[in-house]
């Protein structure tokens, strides 16, 4: 039996990419320094026990009243891709690991021995894209995108940096190393920074907040892996509550809102949202706390017996009944059973998005990367 998981990101339907009503005239001239609001989510299925990728990418917009699934947003790229990360209009993708006929595979320069696999940085709104070299391609690589620089306070540059997180290259050190691509020089370099960590990255691609990229780790004492892009410094931030504080297994994700990193946790005790006040002291402030019973009462059309279902999850390999997938601008994307919902923590509004079967599979594991549409151009060094 083949198991399938999801990888998710965010964007604009293909038929709307050239729509004059999609982007206001004022938005067209704004620099990337202004954060654009959430646009939608991309969902990409992925095999759990196989190195090959599934090429279909499904997109769900959150700005529209009627929800539709679109699957052709990245058709402007020269090959099928996997979505890895996004930031303020730009998306990072990679070539797919695809099973091919040996005769075709041996004569295809883009895929021979995986040596021709590459990365793409693109803007699906204006369909600009560039191809980057990808040395030592690994399906397990994690990435994060950052735009601009602290040395560019007025936002006149659209230079970007792409950070690749890899297992430490030093055999005697358990942790992560970082590779950096800078568009202003058009080259990769290996950072000297190594962050000691015994856990794996989990669920989220890199989230860029206040000059720092953040990744959530797994483990009973989960951490947030951080990397300061300009200073090339990395450290671990403790989460507000470790999973050891609960009887059943909770689920969590991280995201950004109002310029702060947020940590979202759903457990048998309810939905809790914190924002990071001090990154060096791992100090969090609680922003929202709701019991599962309160969620049921306020959204009775969607939920019932949440606490009973939550308490039944006693092992990590058991699928959670309710799972926070991504958080952006106060909007929490979550899955309950086989349905996806969008919950706004500021307005307390819950919106049903779509059922799992609209994405072509009955498997429910998933990871999510938010995307905000913008006309930011690509600088090609």
319 near 364, Cβ under 8 Å? yes
pLDDT of 63 higher than 70? yes
Q: Does residue 108 belong to any structural domain of this protein? A: no
Residue 27: the pLDDT is 41
Tell me the CB-side half-sphere exposure of residue 358, using CA atoms within 13 A.
15
| Measured distance CA(132)–CA(153) in Å, rounded | 27
**Per-residue pLDDT reduced to its tens digit, 47-61:** 767 778 888 888 888
- Please give the Cα distance from 226 to 379 (Å, whole number): 26
- pLDDT band of 141, cuts 50, 70, 90: confident
357 located within any domain:
yes
Determine contact, residues 259/274, Cβ cutoff 8 Å.
Answer: no
Tell me the percentage of the chain whose pLDDT exceeds 90: 38
Residue 20 inside a domain? The answer is: no
Beta bridge partners of 170: none
Q: CB-hemisphere CA count at 13 Å for 113? A: 3
pLDDT (tens digit per residue) in 299-356: 888 887 777 777 776 666 667 778 898 999 999 998 888 888 999 999 999 999 888 7
In a domain, 378, yes or no: no
Residue 310 lies in a domain: yes
Decide which of 308 and 88 is more confident.
Answer: 88
Distance CA 74, CA 56 (A): 10
**What is the predicted pLDDT for the residue at 159?**
86
Pairwise CA distance, residues 11 & 244, whole Å: 36
**What's the number of domains the chain is made of?**
1
List the single range of 26-30, 67-71, 250-254, 336-340 with lowest mean pLDDT. Answer: 26-30
Check residue 249 and give its pLDDT: 80
Is residue 377 included in any domain, yes or no? no
Output the pLDDT for position 9.
43
- Look at residue 270 and tell me if it is in a domain: yes
The CATH number given to whatever domain includes residue 191 is 2.120.10.80
| Residue 289 domain boundaries | 38-100+115-372
- Cα–Cα distance measured from residue 338 to residue 134, given in angstroms and rounded to the nearest whole number: 36
Distance CA 165, CA 21 (A): 38
- For residues 85 and 375, give the distance between their C-alpha atoms in angstroms, rounded to a whole number: 17
Flag whether 8 is in a domain.
no
The lowest-confidence range among 23-32, 121-130, 142-151, 241-250 is 23-32
């Amino acid at each position: 039996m083949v198991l399938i998981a999801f990888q998710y990101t965010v964007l604009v339907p293909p038929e709307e990419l050239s729509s004059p009503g999609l982007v206001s005239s004022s938005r067209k001239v704004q620099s990337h320094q202004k954060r654009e609001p959430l646009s939608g989510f991309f969902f990409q299925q992925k095999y759990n026990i196989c190195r090959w990728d599934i090429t279909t990418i499904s997109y769900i917009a959150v700005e529209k009243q009627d929800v539709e699934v679109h699957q052709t947003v990245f058709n402007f790229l020269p090959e099928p891709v996997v979505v890895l990360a996004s930031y303020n209009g730009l998306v990072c993708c990679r070539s797919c690991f695809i099973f091919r006929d040996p005769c075709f595979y041996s004569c295809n320069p883009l895929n021979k021995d995986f040596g021709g696999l590459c990365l793409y940085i693109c803007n699906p709104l204006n369909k600009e894209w560039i191809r980057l070299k990808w040395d030592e391609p690994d399906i397990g690589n994690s990435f994060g995108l950052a735009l601009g620089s602290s040395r560019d306070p007025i936002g006149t540059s659209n230079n970007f940096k792409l950070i690749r997180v890899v297992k430490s290259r030093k055999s005697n050190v358990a942790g992560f190393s970082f590779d950096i691509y800078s568009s202003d020089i058009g080259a990769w370099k290996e950072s000297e920074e190594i962050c000691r960590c015994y856990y794996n990255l989990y669920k989220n691609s890199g989230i860029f907040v206040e000059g720092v990229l953040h990744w959530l780790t797994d483990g009973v004492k989960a951490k947030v892996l951080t990397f300061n892009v300009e200073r090339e410094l990395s450290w671990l931030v403790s989460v507000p509550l470790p999973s050891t504080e609960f009887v059943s297994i909770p689920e969590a994700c991280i995201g950004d809102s109002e310029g702060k990193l947020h940590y979202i946790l759903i457990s048998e005790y309810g939905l809790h949202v914190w924002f990071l006040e001090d990154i060096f002291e791992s100090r969090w402030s609680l922003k929202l706390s709701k019991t599962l019973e309160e969620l049921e009462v306020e959204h009775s059309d969607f939920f019932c017996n949440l606490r009973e279902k939550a308490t039944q999850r006693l092992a990590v390999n058991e699928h959670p009944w309710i799972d926070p997938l991504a958080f952006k601008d106060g909007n929490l994307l979550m899955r309950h059973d086989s349905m996806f919902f969008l919950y706004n923590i500021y307005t307390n509004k819950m919106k049903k998005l779509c059922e799992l079967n609209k994405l072509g599979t009955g498997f429910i594991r998933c990871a999510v990367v938010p995307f905000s549409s913008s006309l930011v151009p690509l600088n090609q060094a």
